[in-house]
Amino acid sequence: MARQSRGAGTRQERAHRILDAASALIQRWGYNKTTIDDIARQAGVAKGTIYLHWKTREELFSALLTREKLEMGMEIRRSIEDDPEGATLRGMIKHMALILMKRPLLKAIFLHDMEMLGKLAHERYSTEAHQQRLRGFNAYLELLREHNLVRKDLSLQAQVYIFSAIFTGFFLAQPFMAEDYPLSDEEIADLMAETVHMTLEPDHEISPDSLQAASDMFRRYLDHSMEAAQEQFQQEIDG
């Protein structure tokens, strides 16, 4: 996907180098303090070169966030392929958490971090692409319900809210924990997965057929999201 396209030509390689520079600077200084001049200097290109790809600073950072989500999708895809229960809710939240912990910019996107992302933190969640991802996730949850892989005594809307609250809550709690709670990333991800399991999943053994159906559905959902994001990303770096 995004990384694989780096060998597609000088123009794309240059675009990725500029995005790498933008990623480093926004994590260091934040969106509001990072200028096109800063990015050009960091990337080793002329300021005008950046405008060959993006007309505005906002468009450049939009492409950067799209690339981050593409790369996250690829990492999740690889993770669930190595985990027989990776497509269950508990498996998915564990893999997503571990990936976010290693990628500060992705973490900022999901937590609406205004300090790092500025106005981009909210704009990304009002797009049609985001709404499509939500619809895809809802369809995935519906399939889990059909195969008794999540509780049915809660509405779909309640399950989406609870899942989001658990995922976001664990990350928001980290800065407030005392040093007496030195949990590793893996331990935190395991706790998130266990919380999702105890809250949203029924306590019974998963049949191989149900697990396969969930895996197939999740891969279709992920592949569809990544295909749309790849198309959007290509448009964003082509200018």
Instruction: Specify the pLDDT at position 124.
Output: 56
Q: Give backbone dihedrals phi and psi of 77, rounded to 5 degrees, phi first.
A: -60, -45
**Residue 40 identity:** A
Per-residue model confidence (pLDDT) at position 123: 62
What's the confidence (pLDDT) of residue 1? 41
Domain that residue 175 falls in: 4-238
pLDDT at site 61: 92
**What's the 3-state SS for the chain?**
CCCHHHHCCHHHHHHHHHHHHHHHHHHHHCHHHCCHHHHHHHHCCCHHHHCCCCCCHHHHHHHHHHHHHHHHHHHHHHHHHCCCCCCCHHHHHHHHHHHHHCCHHHHHHHCCCHHHHCCHHHHHHHCHHHHHHHHHHHHHHHHHHHCCCCCCCCCHHHHHHHHHHHHHHHHHHHHHCCCCCCCCHHHHHHHHHHHHHHHHCCCCCCCHHHHHHHHHHHHHHHHHHHHHHHHHHHHHHHC
Averaged pLDDT in 10-residue chunks for the chain of 239 residues: 50 92 95 95 95 92 90 86 82 91 88 86 64 79 87 93 92 81 89 95 82 80 82 79
pLDDT at 29: 94
The CATH number for 219's domain is 1.10.357.10
Contact 38, 190 (CB under 8 A): no
The structural domain count of the chain equals 1
- The confidence score (pLDDT) of residue 172 equals 87
Which contacts (CB < 8 Å, 24+ apart) does range 8-11 have? 11/53
